[in-house]
Chains A and B, each alone.
Chain A
Amino acid sequence: MKTPAEYYMRDRRLHPPAYAPGYKTSVARSPRQALISLENTVSEITGPRFGHSDIAEGDNDLLTNYAAAGESAIGERIILHGRVLDQEAKPVRNTLVEVWQANAGGRYRHKKDNYLAPMDPNFGGCGRILTDDDGYYFFRTVKPGAYPWPNQVNNWRPAHVHFSVFGSAFAQRLITQCYFEGDPLIPICPIVQTIPDQAAIDRLTARLDMNQTIPFDAIAYRFDIVLRGRRSTLFENRLEGN
């Protein structure tokens, strides 16, 4: 009987713990019991797949995907791009990458956001794309602004873009946030600092990428994403194909 090959165990030291009291909302929303470890079954090594019929050309252009004809979002024009890889540095192909963010002033287009910075009528704040054969993705957008949030009295989120990535298995599902190189709010953000490992925080920081910057058009930032890797297929305890 074939047993599906497992994904590498998640290294939870590189992820934030559920209970991180500096981020106050986590206090009542974190399990107190230990997680039950589950060896992967077919339920975990499979996951949804997406195709080009699911998305439209231009869904990855936040400068224009909500703008009136001939208009564009206001703010610092950027290209946010990178690759989705697994832990063995292999490209994760044809996987869905979704993003959402505030506008250049730090305001979200959401009924629950009542920050006094104004909405940009030509900016919606979401985008999506499928990675190509090299695992590559890119978005055009504006650099989001910092915004205040009710945690401590005077906490401000660094500029960030939320990322959602699927991979090819439910076990690889990941949501994270991308920050921008040099932002002095990063080291004092309680949400960033839920991550115990400084190198893991650094890997969430997109780097200025002058090589992909388009003169007189848009500044580029590079953000690579790594999903869990996977063992070779095992039949019982016998390695096959190694």
Chain B
Amino acid sequence: MRDPQNYLPETASQTAGPYVHIGLVPSDTGIKIYDHELGRDIAGPNAKGERIRVQGRLIDGNGAALKDGLIEVWQANAAGVYAHPESSGAVEEGFRGWGRVIADFDSGAWFFETVKPGAGPGRSGARQAPHISLWIVARGINIGLNTRLYFDDEGAANDADPVLGRIDPPHRRDTLIATRDDSGDTPVYRFDIRLQGDRETVFFDI
């Protein structure tokens, strides 16, 4: 089972399927088992920084919205620190930086509420622009898709971001930039994810 260097091979991925909600967000399909469902509160009440809402749709190669997708979110706090021992610094009590959301069963729209992350360290002393890492699974997706959301009001930081800088041709970088809308009480960032075809979102092999 091992390769000649004695490393174990990674377990193969399989699709999360159409009923992923049963396991990961059971109350959304009417199953009341857990007292405490995970992934509902990304930032917690103590987190500093600007409260924002992120919303969008997952769109397939025919232009149709997925109504069975699930997205997990991973981000730093407003100071650019992750809730993890390998990130230098401390986060506010209750700040998790992780969440999971599903597309609405009827419309396909999804949203989450959080705080806007701060810039953080990159590789070899570089700085990364503020971003949120996303992981997308659904029926028809055989291995989870990794992408990043950046913010359109961080133009200078985005221009200097080493990850965005890797994307060629450069116009594809725009698929990772969420659009701010200040017309309501809470700032909203719109971020549609196109799985395939025209203006296909950039996905990463991390």
A interface residues, Cβ below 8 angstroms from B: 1, 3-4, 7-8, 10-12, 14-18, 20, 23, 25-33, 35-50, 53-56, 59, 65-66, 85-89, 96, 98-100, 108-113, 124-126, 128, 162, 164, 168, 170-171, 173-177, 191-192, 194-195, 197, 199-201, 203-204, 225-229, 236
Contact = CB atoms under 8 A, between A and B. Distances in A.
Given A42-B86, A44-B133, A177-B14, A11 B140 contact: no
Contacts of A100: 19-20, 22-24, 26
Nearest to B125: A1
Contacts of A98: 23-24
Contacts of B128: 41, 43
From DSSP, what is the main secondary structure of chain B's interface residues?
loop
Interface stretch (B30-38, B46-54, B108-116, B179-187): B30-38
Nearest to A38: B204
A47 B84 contact: yes
Contacts of B86: 4, 42, 45-46
B107 interface: no
A237 to B, nearest CB: 10
Contact of A26 (B87, B125, B140): B140
B166 interface: yes
11 contacts: A31-B145, A42-B86, A46-B86, A59-B33, A162-B14, A170-B146, A174-B10, A174-B144, A175-B14, A199-B9, A229-B7
Main secondary structure of the interface of A (DSSP, over half): loop
A175 B145 contact: no
B72 A173 contact: yes
A136 B18 CA distance: 28
Interface in B77-107: 82-84, 86-87, 96-98, 105
A203 to B, nearest CB: 6
Contacts of B139: 25, 29
B123 A41 contact: yes
A111 B105 contact: yes
A102 B35 CA distance: 22
Contacts of A45: 86
Contact of A46 (B87, B167, B196): B87
Interface residues of B, number: 81
B141 A18 contact: yes
B123 to A, nearest CB: 5
Interface string B190-204: 000001110011111
A192 B13 CA distance: 10
B205 interface: yes
A49 B84 contact: yes
Interface of B: 1, 7-24, 26, 29-31, 33-36, 38, 60-62, 64, 66, 68, 72, 74, 76, 82-84, 86-87, 96-98, 105, 120-125, 128, 131, 133, 135, 137-146, 148, 163, 166-167, 172, 195-197, 200-206
B149 to A, nearest CB: 12
Given A176-B12, A176-B14, 14 more contacts: A4-B123, A18-B142, A28-B60, A28-B62, A30-B141, A31-B145, A33-B200, A39-B123, A46-B84, A56-B35, A88-B7, A110-B19, A203-B12, A227-B10
